[in-house]
Structure 1
Amino acid sequence: MSSPRKPREAATTRAAQALETRRRILAAAADLFAEHEYGDVQVGEIAARAGVAHGLPFHYFGSKHNLYLQVMHETAEQMRVSFTPSDDANPGSQLRAALAAHLRYLAHHRGLARRLILGGRATDPAAREVFEAARWDALKAAAQFLGLDAENAALKLMGRAAVAALDEATVQWLDSEHDFTVEVMVEALLQLIVSAVRSASVIDPTIETSAALDLLVDSAAQPARSQDQPVEP
């Protein structure tokens, strides 16, 4: 006859079960918010898709809005991780790898990308704040790759413009009938970044951009794969 579990073991089991329930609720909510407008999603639908009792989303998150914001936070964190530098010592290669990882993440989460990441930032002020913070983190990471001052006003201005252009290009890529590969898109996005850096130096001629542009141009000069290959996951 097996002995009863110790209180600490029982508490650990309960904590693990609670963590799994919370994860399932978040995953179900992310799917539904990606598929439908916020106002059209009911908490009961989230609970049903997660396979949990109706009241558990409220128990863990307090309200539908709090759950929605948590989905935003989780998604922004996943995007931040996708933009984490690789161990490659070459900054240009790091930026290329970060862009490729970012595009692959979005290609794997198309519904979420269109509605939450690329299309839904302005629908909720708190949600927009989450994604604005994520965008600024991405800009700072890119500046770090290139040895640029992320706090420079001209670089901030053109960096934000570049992010908007990259977002729009990515939306068009996700919806495109053409099979542009991740590699081809990275080449195109690098050219947008090159233009942004050059434009910043027009606004503020004191910025030293030659080293960054050399890294970008050298990186963008690497041959891309044929664009008739299918989009890689």
Structure 2
Amino acid sequence: MARRTPAARPSRMLPADRRTQILEAARRLLEFRPVDELSVESVAREAGVSPGLLFHYFGSQRTFRQAVLEAAAEELLAHVRPDPALSPAEQLRAGITTFTDYVTRYPAVYRAVTRLGTAAGVRTLHRSARSTLAGWLNAALTAAGAPATPAVTLAVTGWLACMEEIVLAWLDDPTTDRAALEALCERSFYQLIRAALDDEDRWLLLRKRVTVRPPAPRPDEPPPAG
């Protein structure tokens, strides 16, 4: 009688890969439920692992939810990272569109970070993500010739807070279409920068410059850092 070949055992995943697998399972579930309803048991079932394994990697349900939000923020920033080949105006428009794409798909994550961030870890995460976005916007404005004044910096930070509230209000009551929402966010950015400059001639010059794409790098030139 021929001997049966035993079924191959699944390969053992590296800890970092297993952690990523679990967080990806949680992200899939976040399309259908709020973060505070994300249980260890449901995520374990989605990931095909035991609940005990989640506690092994994350320690507690609270720590696990924090890790889920951190992974979501990292993913969002990766999506909205500006393309250096585009003009500042194109970067802004693309960033608003990508941002809206993400929060429309994962509204529970967005609300958790911006509205439910009472825990110190979530507040820190929110501030860090906003600081990264502000840094990109300020760099684009400076490259286009805007002065790096406190007023401009405050305008950028204020616009990010304003956009968050606009999108949150739209998620709660989408009485306008998405194209109008994105256009409103874009116009409000330019109006705040215009007010911060407080110089109409400088504003008109900047408004032209932000539409200009940077020169293409030479073939022998290394790619930009970051």
TM-score tier by shorter-chain length is 0.7 to 0.9
Q: Which residue of 1 aligns with 2:115?
A: 119
2: CA distance between counterparts of 1:97 and 1:66? Answer: 33
Conserved 8 A contact 2:22-2:44? yes
Q: Which residue of 2 aligns with 1:189?
A: 185
**Displacement, 1:179?**
5.0
Go from structure 1 to structure 2 and tell me whether the alpha carbon gap of 1:129 and 1:212 turns closer, same or farther (over 3 Å shift): farther
Q: Which residue of 1 aligns with 2:133?
A: 138
The list of structure 1 runs, each at least 4 consecutive aligned residues, that deviate by more than 6 angstroms after superposition, is none
**Displacement, 1:215?**
4.9
Q: Structure 1 length normalisation: TM-score?
A: 0.70
2: CA distance between counterparts of 1:23 and 1:37? Answer: 17
2: CA distance between counterparts of 1:19 and 1:201? Answer: 47
**DSSP 3-state at the match of 1:14:** coil
Mapping of 1:1-233 within 5 angstroms?
A: 13-15=11-13, 21-30=18-27, 31=29, 35-36=33-34, 38=36, 42-86=39-83, 88-114=85-111, 116-120=112-116, 122-147=117-142, 148=146, 152-178=149-175, 180-181=177-178, 183-202=179-198, 210-215=204-209
2: CA distance between counterparts of 1:193 and 1:103? Answer: 15
Which AA in structure 1 matches 2:91?
A: Q
Q: Taking every aligned residue pair, what percent have the same amino acid on both sides?
A: 23
RMSD, aligned α-carbons: 3.5
Which AA in structure 2 matches 1:185?
A: L
**Displacement, 1:25?**
2.5
Go from structure 1 to structure 2 and tell me whether the alpha carbon gap of 1:188 and 1:177 turns closer, same or farther (over 3 Å shift): closer
Go from structure 1 to structure 2 and tell me whether the alpha carbon gap of 1:196 and 1:14 turns closer, same or farther (over 3 Å shift): same
Go from structure 1 to structure 2 and tell me whether the alpha carbon gap of 1:159 and 1:89 turns closer, same or farther (over 3 Å shift): closer
Conserved 8 A contact 1:162-1:192? yes
2: CA distance between counterparts of 1:194 and 1:215? Answer: 13
- More relative contact order in 1 or in 2 (CA 8 Å, sep 6+)? 2
1:65-115: CA deviation from partner (whole Å, max 9, x where unpaired): 32122112111111111211235432211211111111112112223223x
Conserved 8 A contact 2:138-2:153? no
1: CA distance between counterparts of 2:180 and 2:209? Answer: 18
**Displacement, 1:144?**
2.0
**What 5-or-longer segments of structure 1 have no aligned partner?**
2-9, 220-233
1:12-66: CA deviation from partner (whole Å, max 9, x where unpaired): 93226x556433432444436983464x654334334433212111111222232
**Displacement, 1:160?**
2.1
